[in-house]
């Protein structure tokens, strides 16, 4: 498919149907290891699409959530070791930190001909740091939904799909690509685009630290602070910085594009946006380049590994998240959300 003159390999549900995916995986047992961020959405979508799925999870709150979602202990819900043993495809949907700690537990069950599946390239791309080195006689594959597991499930239930990237790192059976695409369709992908483990991991970490979360929080906070420092009220600063962006403009440019937005705003907004997009680009691009180099070198992966390995990591993390949650901008957000018209009838 042509993307502005660049040809990409795209797989759609029209050409690779759910029926075809079921036929390819009809003799497979899909073991979903981990029931945290991606586990519920991917496993439930696969089950609803008619695949043979089991879940592996240690006892605790997450295990109880799996039970509440309909997974039956001893039938479709097992401990991690037993699920890994039973599965012919082992879907490792644990956090990056958990993958490293659980890897010695599941590796003995990755016997010849099985497939090891990830939804993130982190553990494999930096396996000199993570220690996740798969046996040579198994398939190592990936489907990475471009969004949260919650979104994957919600869009599936609505009859839509969340786009995903896919990659084959190791093809020991000659069936790795078919297995990958079948799983990608099975979990409810809207369409699938080809990547590599290294490209996915690098782009994902860059995106999270950049426009998806890190950079956008920095940008929003900077504008909010400038408005507040110049006498604007919290409500005004928040509405002009966040509320209009998320509630009015984002849905529009998600549907029609920023080019459409520029062509269909007021002449004052149009002139200002055209004049100021250049200075913002020029100021931000060096930061993004520095970020990308830090990701590509493995520095960001090492920072993540080191911080997650600290015994007091959760305590420090909660302190940082508490500061973000209790900042004036996001305390203002709570009030603004309560004032939205859709809450009038609640």
For residues 187 and 47, give the distance between their C-alpha atoms in angstroms, rounded to a whole number. Answer: 9
Three-state SS across 307-330? HHHCCCHHHHHHHHHHHHHCCHHH
99 CB burial (10 A radius; 0-12, 13-18, 19+)? buried
CA distance 314 to 316: 5
User: 281 an active-site residue?
Assistant: no
Catalytic: which of 120, 153, 179, 228?
A: 120
Closest by alpha carbon to 29, among 52, 7, 6? 52
3-state secondary structure 88-99: CEEEECCCHHHH
- CA-closest candidate to residue 184, choices 202, 173, 168, 199: 168
Q: Which residues are tagged catalytic?
A: 120
């Amino acid at each position: 498919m042509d993307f502005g003159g660049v040809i990409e390999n795209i797989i759609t549900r029209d050409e690779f149907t759910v029926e075809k995916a079921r036929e390819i995986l009809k003799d497979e047992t899909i073991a979903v290891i981990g029931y945290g961020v991606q586990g519920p959405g991917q496993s439930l979508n696969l089950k609803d699409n008619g695949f043979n799925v089991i879940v592996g999870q240690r006892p605790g709150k997450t295990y109880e959530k799996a039970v509440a979602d309909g997974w039956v202990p001893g039938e479709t819900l097992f401990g991690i070791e037993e699920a890994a043993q039973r599965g012919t495809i082992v879907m490792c949907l644990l956090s990056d930190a958990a993958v490293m700690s659980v890897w010695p537990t599941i590796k003995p069950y990755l016997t010849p001909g099985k497939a090891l599946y990830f939804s993130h390239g982190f553990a494999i791309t930096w396996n000199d740091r993570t220690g996740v080195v798969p046996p040579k006689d198994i398939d190592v594959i990936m489907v990475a939904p471009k969004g949260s597991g919650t979104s994957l499930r919600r869009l599936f239930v609505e009859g839509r799909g969340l786009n995903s990237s896919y990659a084959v790192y190791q093809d020991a059976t000659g069936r790795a690509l078919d297995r990958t695409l079948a799983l990608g369709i099975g979990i409810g992908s809207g369409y699938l685009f080809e990547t590599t483990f290294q490209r996915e991991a690098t782009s994902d970490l860059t995106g999270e630290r950049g426009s998806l979360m890190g950079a956008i929080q920095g940008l929003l906070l900077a504008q909010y602070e400038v408005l507040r420092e110049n006498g604007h009220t919290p409500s005004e600063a928040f509405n002009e910085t966040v509320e209009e962006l998320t509630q009015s403009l984002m849905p529009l440019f998600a549907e029609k594009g920023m080019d459409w937005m520029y062509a269909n705003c007021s002449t004052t907004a149009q002139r200002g946006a055209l004049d100021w997009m250049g200075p913002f680009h020029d100021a931000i691009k060096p930061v993004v380049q520095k970020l990308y180099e830090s990701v590509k070198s493995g520095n960001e992966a090492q920072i993540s590994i080191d911080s997650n390995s600290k015994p007091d990591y959760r305590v420090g993390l909660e302190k940082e998240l508490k500061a973000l949650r209790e900042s004036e901008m996001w305390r203002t957000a709570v009030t603004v959300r309560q004032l939205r018209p859709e809450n009038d009838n609640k």
